[in-house]
Amino acid sequence: MRKVYYVPSHLDPEDYRDEWFGNTAEVHNSVSESNKDYILQGEDFPQWIQIPEFIMGMAPDRTPSDRAISFWLTDEFYLNDIEKEYTVKVWEYDLETNSEPKLFKTLKMEYERQKQQFYTKHIELPIGWYKLEWYRNDELIDDKPISVFEEHNDHEVPVSDGAM
């Protein structure tokens, strides 16, 4: 979220310096059409405006098959609209045969209020290549490839006792 202090054009921003100085790098005295929806107290009043900027699905690029993982999503455009449903579709790819991807699983996302993010329950994926697709209702909003590998612990380095 971008935090902006808004001062109407008929007022002097310096009169509100105590409010915004040291708290934001942006002070606006006009607002674009796309940001008018975020002015909550009306355009005639100085106020803080929080402007959503991005949507980002989060998952590791690679993960071992024996470790359960959770997928996260930041959707700054989410404005406590409980009608929206978020899901992650996990598509399995076979890169050796280059066949069509198969839907492995669809995971429902829940909302974590403290972090202001959506998350899935933990899941273990078999070894392979996958593509994650995040959806808001039925609209694709982000995607990301992920690979799952078999972890080997046979490369451990012995601890030396200091003798040479």
| Structural domain boundaries in the chain | 2-51, 55-149
Closest CA to 135 of 102, 69, 86, 79: 86
Kindly report the CATH class assigned to 55-149.
mainly beta
Check: pTM over 0.85? Answer yes or no: no
What are 103's two structure tokens?
């839907």
- Rounded-to-integer distance, Cα 103 and Cα 32, Å: 42
Q: What is the pLDDT of residues 150-161, one digit of tens each?
A: 887 765 555 555
Closest CA to 132 of 147, 115, 117: 147
Contact 137, 77 (CB under 8 A): no
Q: What is the pLDDT of residues 6-25, one digit of tens each?
A: 999 999 999 999 999 999 98
Contact 107, 156 (CB under 8 A): no
- Rounded-to-integer distance, Cα 148 and Cα 102, Å: 16
Query: Does pLDDT of 162 surpass 60?
Result: no
Contact 9, 29 (CB under 8 A): yes
- Rounded-to-integer distance, Cα 106 and Cα 147, Å: 17
Query: Does pLDDT of 114 surpass 60?
Result: yes
